[in-house]
Amino acid sequence: MPFPDDFLGVDDVTTPQLLELLDAADRLKAGRSSRPADGSGGLRGRTIALVFEKPSTRTRVSFQVAVTELGGEPLPLSSAELQLGRGETIADTGAVLSRYVHAVVVRTFGQDRLQELADGATVPVVNALTDLEHPCQALADLQTFREVHGSFEGRSLAYVGDGNNVANSLLLAGAKVGLSVRIGHPEGYAPDAAITARARDLAAASGARILLTTDPVEAVVGADAVYADVWASMGQEAEASQRAEQFVPYRVTSELMGHAADGAVFLHCLPAHRGEEVTAEVIDGPASRVFDQAENRLHAQKALLAALLS
């Protein structure tokens, strides 16, 4: 099956394609340390627009380095530099950019904005984060999990906190590869219902199990990885104090980690707020793999760009 034209969400790729991306990311990671990047990675002569309507550290830097190491030319663009939905329609922006560049990577707000740009574009469009999904993060998460545990079969990952875009993509990604995903969330903060239903369908085929619970201990018991994210994402700053009160029981502490399986690791997409969603003892402790995750954004995204533009 040919690789899809766009990568707007985890479900855009099949399970074999997802596993192929992870294998390619592993090869790229191993090769990077043994030889310098020489620009021969398949993007020579190609320009990739990096459109950011939200601030970014890991996503912007990892994509910019990925394009450069693959031999392409990154073109970073902020919302202040474009007329997305203001002077012209988002679809028209996609059409115009397609006349100049070979792919568009977009970090934006609503999934509808990303979809509209992709509808207007004639080049591949990549979701670098929306309010609904963070699929590139999920690629790096799976790569990191497999590096630690070797496989997904019979394994489980517990995500504790807000059922946000990261949780949504983890549900889909885990279900596709046979990794059971348990979400421990406060009442009223469950992952997207449609995505959860789709994940359950995928899990039925892969042998994974999906669990949503308001009990953080139930989510974590026996898990091979425990995952946390910030309690208030970008655009939710006004809710921060209210969320802080509701989310305290979901803080990842050494005590909560003690319910996980032997050899369990701690994961976080970063940036992290020590003392809020995770204690310093956990994130800075021996079980933490958060900086491996951050690094793997680079390798997974290189694999994705190469697949989209091959």
Note if 46 is an active site residue.
no
* Gap between the Cα atoms of 20 and 66, Å rounded: 18
Note if 273 is an active site residue.
no
229, 251, 268, 301: the catalytic one is: 229
Note if 297 is an active site residue.
yes
Note if 274 is an active site residue.
no
136, 224, 269, 289: the catalytic one is: 269
Burial of 57 (0-12, 13-18, 19+ CB in 10 A): exposed
Q: Answer whether 121's CB lies under 8 Å from 98's CB.
A: yes
107, 182, 198, 268: the catalytic one is: 107
Note if 134 is an active site residue.
yes
* Gap between the Cα atoms of 228 and 88, Å rounded: 38
Quick one: angle between helices 15-34 and 135-149, nearest 10? Answer: 70
137, 143, 293, 301: the catalytic one is: 137
Note if 111 is an active site residue.
no
182, 185, 297, 299: the catalytic one is: 297
102, 134, 243, 289: the catalytic one is: 134
**Residues taking part in catalysis:** 107, 134, 137, 229, 269, 297
